Structure 1
């Protein structure tokens, strides 16, 4: 049976994982940098500073994904800018973007800044590592370490045995990417990774977090999602694993959100016919049930899809 492809959500899970597991991120992808940091000292996420770096920027909304402040074992303070790039269309200006945010951070805050990048695109040959400009004896150059997620395709057994949360993140990312148009195959891989998650001996909180990352990234059509939920319940009963219940709650919560999104889109389609893809994608990204209920009520009385989109955009901006 053919299933309509569902757009994957890479951005949200990666950013949330960076927030929750920053130390594990560096340990897994950039161990040399990790070894230079004094992890007995607290680090902090600099969200406000990151926003300021992008203000009035020519690069628009293409912000780095995270900015952290750490203390080195030498006692010095270091800022780490993390870029996660999923699409390779940015081949030309990606190195420039890294350089621009690096010098903005140094210029504005006078802090030493290290920029690192995760390349999650599907183009094997795209491997930017520097931004450089030279002219008649003048030379400007910024080199930055990168990790290409495609390289882990040949390290699958190592990923399966690795306890670091980002091993599962990489596995989910690669299989989501590989099943871009094969939803049934994606569902099989999603189930495989969920079972792997349950067998790794993680604490309850980690199980909940990683399940949420996998579930959001490996988006499925409604029918396949329902099949997966049934499999999960049966697996729990067979294995007598009561600790799966928090994941079932997450599934049920997500199912309620998805149902509310579908109700909005179905109502718009019944009233006005075809719904623009931009509206569909925006509604499907919403995670706030209160907001979704409000939009559903507005969809009942709104005069047109264009009018609904005007209501929707301010809501998503907030």
Structure 2
């Protein structure tokens, strides 16, 4: 995995904001028995208490959600989702242990699901069993192997389920390790495809965040991609605020280590550079000599301004 690749954050957000679509795409049979008209609830803190010994670095993310079934008896059940990024010989046993712990905690039916996001096509753990002295126990759990979708790109591109694009982004992120230019071209293609979808604005922005997180690029290429996407016009303009938010977050982390006014100046300079490109010497001088209130005033104008003149006008 490249040092700058981040699989955890995008998958976690994708599952949290689009759980019905996630289940419908990877586990349609199970999804058909869930009453999605009823609100579902994630139990992240409870999951951490149930799994205090979980090893770090071996999975992408695991989630626990409370959902209601369509069987007419108003029964709440728990679904445990684990997205595994690396081959692990103890994975099936861990699925069994967590399945039992969740049941023991809530005394309610539990369904466990696994997304296998690794690079080993023949590694497909789908059950755990043990036997001793005539006692037998076994857990079978549904799995979805992301590598299986690698040959289905045409269908994924045509799919209306947002997790088709998430799957493509994940596969291309792995495929383009160390190939920033190739990743740039693929990411651009997926973003423009996303922009053309007739989905709600919020859904498009959510998916943009997921793809942008997965398909990380060096800052220079990311800035170039932002400009190219922005120049397309139309629905792609809605992506700009997300690009700028990432620029703000990155700059803020650096600014924390500096003096307040100096940090604000550095932060604003980074934001302006991301938005409009290299800054003229005159602008740099104004930033370094400005007061905190001036810097704040200019910062408020950045996202709506079309040029440096509008920021400083």
**Alignment TM-score, normalising by the size of structure 2:** 0.77
Greater gyration radius: 2
- Residue 256 of structure 2: which of 289, 294, 311 is its match? 294
Distance in structure 2 (CA, Å) of the matches to 1:292 and 1:44: 36
CA contact (8 A) 2:192 2:236 kept: no
Pick the aligned partner of 1:247 from 232, 239, 244. Answer: 239
Aligned residues of 1:129 and 1:145 also touching (Cα < 8 A): yes
Correspondence for 1:78: 77
Measure the CA separation in 2 of the matches of 1:249 and 1:71. 36
Distance 1:138 1:73 in 2: 34
**TM-superposed deviation, 1:257:** 2.9
State the partner residue of 1:153: 150
State how far apart, in whole Å, the 2-side matches of 1:257 and 1:296 are. 15
Higher RCO (CA < 8 A, seq sep 6+): 1
Gaps (5+ residues) in structure 2? 263-313
Deviation, 1:137, is 2.5
Aligned residues: 256
2:37 counterpart SS class: coil
Task: Output the CA distance in 2 between the equivalents of 1:71 and 1:252.
Answer: 39
Deviations 1:86-124 (A, max 9, x none): 122xx2111111111111111122111110000111111
Larger mean Cα displacement after TM superposition, 147-156 or 68-77:
68-77
**1:186 to 2:183 alignment:** yes
SS in 1 for 2:165: helix
State how far apart, in whole Å, the 2-side matches of 1:167 and 1:123 are. 20
Matched, 1:214 2:176: no
Report if aligned partners of 2:170, 2:214 keep a CA contact under 8 Å in 1.
yes
Aligned to 1:9: 6
Q: 1:30 to 1:181 in 2, by over 3 A?
A: same
Q: Any conservation in 2 of the 1:131–1:141 contact (CA below 8 Å)?
A: yes
Shift of 1:160: 0.7
**Whole-Å Cα distance in 1 between the matches of residues 83 and 119 of structure 2?**
13
Superimposed CA distance per residue, residues 172-223 of structure 1 (whole angstroms, 9 cap, x where no aligned partner): 0000010011111001100000011011211110111111111111001122
**1:117-145 deviations in whole A, cap 9, x for unaligned?**
00111111111101111234221111110
d(CA) in 2 for partners of 1:210 and 1:42? 21
106, 129, 139: which one aligns with 1:142: 139
> 1:65 is paired with a residue of what secondary structure?
strand
Alpha-carbon distance in structure 2 between the residues aligned to 1:296 and 1:85: 39
TM-aligned CA distance change 1:296 to 1:123, over 3 Å: farther
SS of the aligned residue for 1:233 comes to: helix
What aligned pairs does 1:37-48 form with structure 2 within 5 A after superposition? 37-48=34-45
Note the residue ranges of structure 1 that are not aligned, 5 or more in a row: 261-288, 301-318
Q: Secondary structure at the match of 2:182?
A: helix
CA RMSD of aligned residues (A): 2.0
Structure-1-length-normalised TM-score: 0.76
Instruction: After TM superposition, list the pairs within 5 Å mapping 1:102-141 onto structure 2.
Output: 102-141=99-138
Alignment partner of 2:198: what SS?
Answer: coil
Measure, in 2, the Cα distance between the counterparts of 1:211 and 1:43: 24
- Partner in structure 1 of residue 301 of structure 2: none
For the 8 Å contact 2:80–2:99, the answer to whether it is kept is yes
Q: Is the 8 A contact 1:54 1:60 kept in 2?
A: no
